[in-house]
Chain A
Amino acid sequence: MSEVILQLKNITKRFPGVVALNNVSFDVRAGEVHALCGENGAGKSTLIKTCTGAVIPDEGEIVIDGQSFKQMTPQLADKYGIAVIYQELNSVGDLSASENVFLGNEIRRGVLVDKKEMARRSAEVFESLNIKINPYELVKNLTVGYRQMIEIAKAVSHNARVLIMDEPSAPLTNNETENMFALVEQLKKKGVAIVYISHRMPEIFRLSDRITVMRDGQYIQTLHTQETSNEELIKLMVGRELSATFPPRKTMVSEEVLLKAENLAGNGVKNISFELKKGEILGFAGLIGAGRTELAELIFGVKEIESGTLTWKGKEVKFHCPQEAIAAGIVLCPEDRKNQGLCLPMNIRDNISLSSARRLSRFCVLDWKKVDEISNSYKEKLQIKTPGLFQQAKNLSGGNQQKVVLAKGLATSPELVIFDEPTRGIDVGAKYEIYKLLNSLIEEGKTIIMISSEMEELIGMADRIIVLAEGHYGGEIRKEEFSQQLIMEYASKSY
C-alpha cells in the first residue's frame, strides 16, 4: 500500500435545514484512483469543496501529509497540490494552449510575458502526458476533450498530487473519453492520487482501485473495486427503503392516447418516442443532464423541434411558443420556481391570473371580479397559506410558491400538466400535499407528466416510468417492474 496523501476525517457540514455531510471520512493514496459515487444530492460535490476550501466544514479534520487542518483555503490547496477539474471547464478561449496552462502563473521577463518560455514548458508537460496539442493553438479552436486535457496539464504543471475529477467524461465523446482514460492511467503511474466522481458504472469499474459510496450526505461504504459488482454498487447507492409515504390513488389510465412523440429531436434530445395515455402519470427519470427538462421544453414549445413529430389528441402539432401549448391545453410547472415559475415581486393574485388573463378579459379589458373569484377559489382549493392575495409571491414558502405556480396553470383548465421537479426544495409535509394534489388532478380526469430526480417519488406516484440517458431513450419501466436498481441501470447507460 502506498502512502495516504489526503485524508478527510469525520467531516460534518450543515446547511440551514439540511445536513449536507454527516460524519464522512474518505482518503486517497498516491498512485490510486478512488471513485466517489452516489445519487444526485448525495453530498459528493460538498465533500470535494471541503478539500479546496470552497466549503468550510463544521466538524472534522482534513489531513494532508500527516498535517491536520480544520479547514482548507484555496491557497493551502494550491500549496499542497490539490487540484480540481470541474465539469464546466475554466479555460479562456482567446488565449493559446500554453497561456492557459500558465494562466494566473505566467512566466515573465520583466513586465512582459515570456510566451516562448511558456510554450516550451507547456510542450514539455504535454509531452510527458502524451498529449498532442500545439502550445500556440488558441483554445477556442480545440474540442472539449482537449480543453479538459489542458486543464489537467495545468494541474500537473502546478505539481498537483491530488487530482479531483468531477464527472470528467460527461461532456466527452467516446474517443475523447478513451484519451482521457489514458491520461488518467499516465497520472496514476506518476504517483498522482486521483479522486474520480462519476455516475457511469463501466468507467468506475475500469479505472478505479477503490470505490466510496455516499448517500444523503452519509458515508456508506468503501469497497475494493475487484471485490464488488455492478449490482452491489447500485444497491448501496440507492438502497434505502421508501421513506416517504405516498397517498393512495385510483388508477385512471385509459386507452386514449393523449400525446404521442415520434423520434422527437432537438434541444439536446435525441430521437425519443413515447405515448402518453389520458389519465396517466408518466414519470421521467434520469440523471441531471439526461434531457428530461429539455424534452419538456420541446413539448411545451419553449424550444424548437428539429425533427420528429408530436401528436396531441390525434392531431400533429408544433407549438412555436408556450402560449400556443397553453391554448391547446398543456401547462408546465417548471423546475426553478423562483426564476421560471413566478414573478416574485408581483402579488399572488396577479401571478395566479397571469396565464389566464387573456381569457378572463373581454375586448382586452380584464374582468377583475372573475380574476378575484378564480384566484380565491384556487387559494382555497390548493390551500395556499397566505394572509391575502395581495402578498408578494416572494414572501411565500417553497411549498406555497409551488402551489401558486400550479394554480396559475390550472386556471387555464389544462388537460396535461407537466411537472418538472415538483417537490424540489420542499419539506416533507408540503411534499405530501403536492402528491395529494397530483392525485386529485388525475381523479379530475387530467393527465400528468412528472419529471423527477427523486426515484422513490416516481416509483410512489407514476403509472409508468421512462428513463432518459444522455438525451436518449434509456428504457421504459412498467409499474410491476418499478425498482430503483432498474432505473439506475437504464439511467447510467452511455451512448
Chain B
Amino acid sequence: MKTLNVKQFVKKYAIYLVLLALIIIFSIASPQFLRVSNIVNVVRQASMLGIASVGMIFVMIIGGIDLSVGSVVTFVNIIVAYFMVNMGMNPVLASLVGIGASTLIGFFNGWVVANIKIPPLIVTLATQIIFEGWAYIIAGGMPIFGFPKSFAVLGQGYVGIIPIPVILMVICLIAGSFILNKTFFGRHFYAVGSNAEASELSGVRVKRVHYLAYSLCGFFAGLSGVVMLSRTNSGQVTAGQGFEFDVISALVLGGVSVTGGAGSISCAVAGILIMQILSNGFVLCGISTYLQMVIKGCVLLVAVGFDMLQRMKESTVKKA
C-alpha cells in the first residue's frame, strides 16, 4: 500500500521532482548556479520562452502544433526594429504593429489548418520558412540597431528587483490560465482536442476555435519577440532560431499532450523552468552549444515517449 502511494506521488509530481533534481545537480556542478544574480538571470531568460509557451499551449491542447513560432519571433524582431530605426516609428506603435502582424500570421495558420485541412505540421513548417525568409529580405541579413532609449525598458527594466519581462510572463501565464479555465471558449479548446466531431455536433464552432488558438499563438509569439528585441537591443535575423523547439519541449515536459485534449499552465511552468535551467546549467558547466542540442533533442524524445507510453498503458487497461 505504501509503495503504491510513493508510486502515485512520484507519478503526480514527476515533473517537479525532475526540476528539483536538476537544480541539485547543477548547484553541485557549478557554484555560480544558485547565486541570486544567476537565478534572476534564469527567470528573465525564461520569460521569453514562457510568454511564447502560453500561446503554444492553446494550439497543442486542440491537438495541433505550430512550428512557425521561432521564425515569427525573428520576423517580429526584424520588422519592429525596421519600423523604429528605418521609419522612425514610435516604439509602442511599432511593437503593436509587430504583434498585430504575428497575430495575423497565426490566424492564417489556423485558417489553413481548419479549412484546407493541411496537417498543422506542414502548414506551419511552410509559414516558418516563409517568414524567416521575409525577415532576411527586410533586414538584408544584417542586424538592425539604434533604438530609442525608452524601448529598452520593456526587456531590461526592473520593478524593485524583479525584471519587467518576468512580470510580463507572469501576467501572460495568469491570462492563459484564466482563458483555459474560466471562459467558455477555454473549455472548447479541450473539447476540440479530445473529440473534434463530438464538439462540432455539440455546437462548438470548431473552425473558430482553430482560428482563435493559432491567433493566440501568433500573438504571444509576437509579444515574446518584442520583449526579446528590447532585451538584446538589436534586431537579429537569428533571434528566434530553434525557439519553437524549446517552446514545444517545455510544454511536452510540462505534461501537455502531443495528441491534444490535455495540459495546464501550472504544469507547463515546470517544463518552462526545466528547459531554461538546462540551457543555463549547460553554459555554466561549459558544455558546448552542439552538445546542448544533442541533449535537448534527447530530452524531447524521452518526454514525448513517456507521454505516449502512458497513453498506451491507459488504453490497454481499458481494453482488459
Report A's interface with B, CB cutoff 8 A: 300, 302, 321-323, 325-327, 332, 334, 339-346, 350, 353-355, 357-358, 360-361, 364-366, 394, 408, 412
- In the complex, per-residue mask of B182-207: 1 if CB is within 8 Å of any chain A CB, else 0: 11111110110011011111111100
Which 9 pairs of residues, A with B, have the shortest CB-CB distance? Answer: A357-B184, A326-B203, A323-B203, A343-B194, A361-B184, A343-B195, A355-B202, A354-B202, A364-B183
User: Which partner residue on chain A sits nearest B260 by CB separation?
Assistant: A345
Interface pair A350/B187, CB less than 8 Å apart = yes
Interface pair A354/B191, CB less than 8 Å apart = yes
Interface pair B187/A357, CB less than 8 Å apart = yes
Name the distance in Å between A248's Cβ and chain B's nearest Cβ: 32
B300 at the interface (CB under 8 A from A): no
Contact for B198 among A321, A326, A343, CB less than 8 A: A343
B313 at the interface (CB under 8 A from A): no
With most chain B CB atoms within 10 A of its CB, the pick from A321, A326, A345, A365 is: A345
Q: Please, how many angstroms separate the alpha-carbon atoms of A346 and B318 in the complex? A: 15
Interface pair A364/B202, CB less than 8 Å apart = no
Q: Please, how many angstroms separate the alpha-carbon atoms of A340 and B197 in the complex? A: 6
B262 at the interface (CB under 8 A from A): yes
Interface pair A366/B183, CB less than 8 Å apart = yes
A302 surroundings in chain B (CB, below 8 A): 200-201
Interface pair A366/B182, CB less than 8 Å apart = yes
Q: Please, how many angstroms separate the alpha-carbon atoms of A321 and B318 in the complex? A: 34
Report B's interface with A, CB cutoff 8 A: 182-188, 190-191, 194-195, 197-205, 261-262, 318
Q: Please, how many angstroms separate the alpha-carbon atoms of A147 and B76 in the complex? A: 55
Q: Please, how many angstroms separate the alpha-carbon atoms of A36 and B199 in the complex? A: 40
Interface pair A346/B190, CB less than 8 Å apart = yes
**Assuming the A-B contacts A361-B184, A364-B183, A365-B182, are A340 and B194 also in contact, with contact meaning beta carbons closer than 8 angstroms in the complex?**
no
Interface pair B191/A364, CB less than 8 Å apart = no
B187 surroundings in chain A (CB, below 8 A): 350, 353-354, 357, 366
Interface pair B195/A339, CB less than 8 Å apart = yes
Name the distance in Å between A419's Cβ and chain B's nearest Cβ: 13
Interface pair B182/A344, CB less than 8 Å apart = no
Interface pair A357/B188, CB less than 8 Å apart = yes
Interface pair B202/A322, CB less than 8 Å apart = yes
User: Which partner residue on chain B sits nearest A337 by CB separation?
Assistant: B198
B203 surroundings in chain A (CB, below 8 A): 322-323, 325-327, 354-355, 358, 412
Taking A357-B187, A366-B182, A366-B183 as given, write out 18 further A-B residue pairs in contact, using a Cβ cutoff of 8 Å, ordered by the A residue number: A300-B201, A302-B200, A321-B205, A322-B202, A327-B203, A334-B201, A339-B198, A340-B201, A342-B195, A343-B261, A344-B194, A344-B195, A345-B261, A354-B187, A354-B202, A354-B203, A357-B184, A366-B187
Q: Please, how many angstroms separate the alpha-carbon atoms of A344 and B187 in the complex? A: 14
Interface pair B197/A339, CB less than 8 Å apart = yes
B205 surroundings in chain A (CB, below 8 A): 321, 323
Q: Please, how many angstroms separate the alpha-carbon atoms of A339 and B194 in the complex? A: 10
